[in-house]
Amino acid sequence: MIDITYSDEVARARESGAPLVALESTIITHGMPFPQNVETARRVEAEIRAAGAVPATIAVIAGRLHVGLSDEELDRLARARDVAKLSRADLSACIATGGTGATTVAATMIAAHLAGIEVFATGGIGGVHRGAETSFDISADLAELATTPVTVVAAGAKAILDLPKTLEVLETQGVPVIAVGQDEFPAFWSRESGLAAPLSMDTAEQIARAARTRRAMGLSGGQLVANPIPEAAEIPRDVVDPIIRAALEAAEAAGVRGKDVTPFLLDHIFTATEGRSLESNIALVLNNARLGAEIAKALTTLPA
Ligand code: PSU
Ligand code: MN
């Protein structure tokens, strides 16, 4: 087994069996600008603690897989430029060569599972990009959800992606997609996408039971919990849609490819909305952190 560096807080939680919630670091290094990225990361961790669980932010630092970061490590990561973005394909290479990198949803799921953490909260997942029928650009997050038994809480996926195709791939891969408290699949900044969610549940307890039932049946993979953004933080679709279109055109014009696509689009949208998208993003991540903590707590009440 690979050596994992645990923060003191996470090590104590593992010993006592306290509920743990994993958090990714690509959202910090590639998903939000400094200093809002580190402020948000701290607020998300505080929200999880306030809800009675323990946060475990995951990253690779100087070749070591960290589960739980100190305040200083978090700050350094948030300020750093040119930090590698690590998905399933990059994680082991980064560790083997002594590198430093931030983990995507896929890589965070892998690390969380190695650390025995069953729940992970974030903002949005990667998915099938628009034009994937020619570019083949499909995030490794989707295959990871089909493989690794971690429940991922997100606010759905951004409309920078092709949402119908993303749902199709998740269905093909056998990933349960569970909308929370509504029948529609939420679309990140908006509670609605116009697409029905395959599954819907109302409580953290139900979601925890669903995870354990999958495990009891020997089914591989996790589940995607699609938690709608709080109403007060929503951005209407007619405001976001033209900005997304402009971001996609800019990416096309700049010839952006591969793993640079998602960060490029996110950065473009943050700049174009002058912080409004960032405010919404922060609100939905906090909301997901709260639900993640509730699910983690519910899991501790169920038989293993
Ligand atoms: N979508 C967002 N915010 C993010 C990401 C996606 O709304 O921060 C990040 C996540 O880390 C996700 C990754 O796992 O981008 C997906 O990148 P790619 O499409 O290259 O797999
Ligand atoms: Mn991609």
Pick the atom of ligand 1 nearest to 137's CA: 19
**Predicted local distance difference test score (pLDDT) of residue 150:** 98
Closest CA to 105 of 154, 34, 167, 166: 154
Does the pLDDT at position 82 exceed 90?
no
Helices (H) and strands (E) in the chain, counts: 13, 11
* Residue type (1 letter), 272: A
pLDDT at 14 > cutoff 90 = yes
**For position 303, what pLDDT does the model report?**
87
239, 233 in Cβ contact below 8 A? no
Q: How confident is the model at residue 275 (pLDDT cuts 50, 70, 90)?
A: confident
Average pLDDT of every residue of the chain: 96
Q: Are 178 and 222 in contact (CB under 8 A)?
A: no
Cis-peptide into 35, omega within 30 deg:
yes
Q: Give yes or no for a contact between 243 and 159, defined as CB atoms under 8 angstroms apart.
A: no
Q: Selecting from 3.30.1740.10, 3.40.50.300, 3.40.1790.10, 2.60.40.10, what CATH number does the domain 118-304 have?
A: 3.40.1790.10
Are 130 and 202 in contact by the 8 Å Cβ rule? The answer is no
Q: Is residue 229 within a helix (H) or strand (E), and if so which, with residue range?
A: none
Q: At a CB cut-off of 8 Å and minimum separation 6, what does 134 contact?
A: none
Q: Which residue has the higher pLDDT, 166 or 304?
A: 166
Q: Which of 218, 145, 230 is nearest to 191 (CA)?
A: 230
| pLDDT at 274 > cutoff 80 | no
Q: Determine if ligand 1 sits within 6 Å of the CB of residue 190.
A: no
Q: Residue 178: which pLDDT band, with cuts at 50, 70 and 90?
A: very high
C-alpha of residue 71 to centroid of ligand 2, in Å: 30
CA 112 to chain centre: 12
Q: Percent of the chain, pLDDT > 70? A: 100
Phi, psi angle pair for 200, to nearest 5°: -140, 135
**Count of CA atoms in the C-beta half-sphere (13 A) of 202:** 0
Look at residues 277, 279, 283, 284 and name the one whose alpha carbon lies nearest to residue 247: 277
Phi, psi torsion values for 225, nearest 5 degrees: -100, 115
Which of 23, 24, 27 for a ligand 1 pocket mutation test, highest count of atoms within 8 Å of Cβ? Answer: 27
pTM tops 0.90, yes or no: yes
| pLDDT at residue 238 is higher than 90 | no
Q: What is the pLDDT of residues 51-76, one digit of tens each?
A: 999 999 999 999 999 999 999 999 99
Q: Give tens-digit pLDDT for 188-234.
A: 999 999 999 999 999 999 999 999 999 999 999 999 999 999 999 99
Task: Decide if 146 contacts 174 (C-beta within 8 A).
Answer: yes
Centroid of ligand 1 to alpha carbon of 15 (angstroms): 31
Burial of 77 (0-12, 13-18, 19+ CB in 10 A): buried
**Which residues belong to the annotated binding site for substrate?**
85, 105, 139-141
- Flag whether pLDDT at 236 surpasses 90: no
Nearest CA to ligand 1 atom 10: 104
Query: Which residues, chain by chain, have CB under 5 Å from ion ligand 2?
Result: 137
The pair of three-digit structure tokens given for residue 43, joined into one six-digit string: 């607020």
Share of the chain above pLDDT 90, in %: 93
Question: Which positions are catalytic?
Answer: 24, 158
Lowest mean pLDDT among 126-130, 238-242, 283-287, 298-302: 238-242
Helix/strand/coil percentages in the chain, nearest 5:
50, 15, 35
Report the C-alpha dihedral over residues 268, 271, 276, 279, rounded to 10 degrees: 80
Q: Is 3.90.1150.10 the CATH number for 1-117? A: no
Domain ranges within the chain, ordered by starting residue: 1-117, 118-304
Q: Is 266 in the pocket of ligand 1 (CB under 6 A)?
A: yes
Angle, helices 261-272 vs 276-301, to 10°: value is 120
pLDDT (0 to 100) of residue 264: 95
pLDDT score at 19: 98
